[in-house]
């Protein structure tokens, strides 16, 4: 199980429209069928304070300075780790989470050009140093992600509204993060069929649980 705590900490990362929530839902279903206790959660959000921060950071009108944005995500993460994630891992449960600190490194560090290393340090401080045991990166061509979103959304949030060039930087940043930590990351081609992806995710998680 976890290198740091009794539970297992699994995160899903990837661009907008890469299918993270679909895969997280399928994995949750499977883990429950195996009799596991699962806490399914997400960032931003996942706590009451986090949901208020989510409203600001995703939907507030007007410009938010990049550093303020990075600190809002970090504040959300600090509250979430302290109130939800760490307690569940201490109880020996499986935390299944949409987005975590790799999102901050990719979107704020590289997308907003705030320096990946500084954002990683800020995020680790906020998260009390807690890293996931397994991170599934759903890698997808930016234009495919965008067209999936176009089908699903009536309005875009602040980050989704960024230009294609921003999202390409985010994608490259994720791939670089995965290359730097191959033991933690499972990189999957998000254009594969949903069931095929789910089977690959299950195989990786089974190995982590063994």
Chain residues in the site for ligand TYD (CB under 6 A): 16, 20, 42-44, 58, 73, 99, 103-104, 107-108, 157, 159-160
Query: Shortest Cβ distance from residue 94 to ligand TYD (Å)?
Result: 20
The tokens describing 21, both together, are 């929530």
Query: Shortest Cβ distance from residue 34 to ligand TYD (Å)?
Result: 26
- Nearest residue (CB) to ligand TYD, 88 versus 105: 105
- Nearest residue (CB) to ligand TYD, 194 versus 207: 194
- Nearest residue (CB) to ligand TYD, 33 versus 151: 151
| Residues near 21 by beta carbon (within 8 Å), at least 6 away in sequence | 12, 98
Query: Shortest Cβ distance from residue 107 to ligand TYD (Å)?
Result: 3
Other residues' Cβ atoms within 10 Å of the Cβ of residue 183: 6
Taking CB atoms, the residue at the shortest distance from ligand TYD is 107
143, 194 contact by CB (below 8 A): no
- What is the DSSP-derived secondary structure letter of residue 115? -
Query: Shortest Cβ distance from residue 85 to ligand TYD (Å)?
Result: 13
- What is the DSSP-derived secondary structure letter of residue 176? H
CA dihedral (186, 191, 193, 195) in degrees, to 10, reads: 30
Query: Shortest Cβ distance from residue 79 to ligand TYD (Å)?
Result: 13
- Nearest residue (CB) to ligand TYD, 33 versus 61: 61
- Nearest residue (CB) to ligand TYD, 91 versus 153: 153
| Residues near 73 by beta carbon (within 8 Å), at least 6 away in sequence | 43, 44, 53, 57, 103, 104, 108, 123
* C-alpha 22, offset from chain centre: 13
């Amino acid at each position: 199980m976890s290198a740091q705590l009794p539970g297992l900490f699994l995160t899903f990362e990837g661009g907008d429209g890469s299918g993270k929530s679909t895969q997280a839902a399928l994995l949750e279903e499977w883990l429950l069928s195996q009799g596991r206790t699962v806490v399914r959660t997400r960032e931003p959000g996942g706590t009451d304070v986090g949901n208020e921060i989510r409203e600001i950071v995703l939907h507030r009108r007007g410009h938010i300075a990049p550093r303020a944005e990075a600190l809002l995500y970090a504040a959300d993460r600090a509250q979430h780790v302290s109130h939800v994630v760490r307690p569940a891992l201490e109880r020996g449960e499986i935390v299944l989470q949409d987005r975590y600190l790799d999102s901050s490194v990719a979107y704020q560090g590289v997308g907003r050009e705030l320096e990946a290393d500084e954002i990683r340090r800020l995020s680790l401080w906020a998260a009390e140093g807690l890293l996931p045991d397994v991170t599934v990166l759903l890698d997808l061509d930016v234009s495919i992600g965008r067209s999936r979103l176009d089908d699903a959304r009536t309005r875009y949030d602040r980050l989704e509204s960024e230009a294609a060039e921003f999202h390409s930087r985010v994608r490259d940043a994720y791939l670089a993060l995965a290359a730097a930590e191959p033991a933690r990351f499972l990189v999957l081609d998000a254009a594969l069929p949903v069931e095929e992806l789910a089977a690959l995710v299950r195989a990786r998680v089974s190995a982590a649980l063994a």
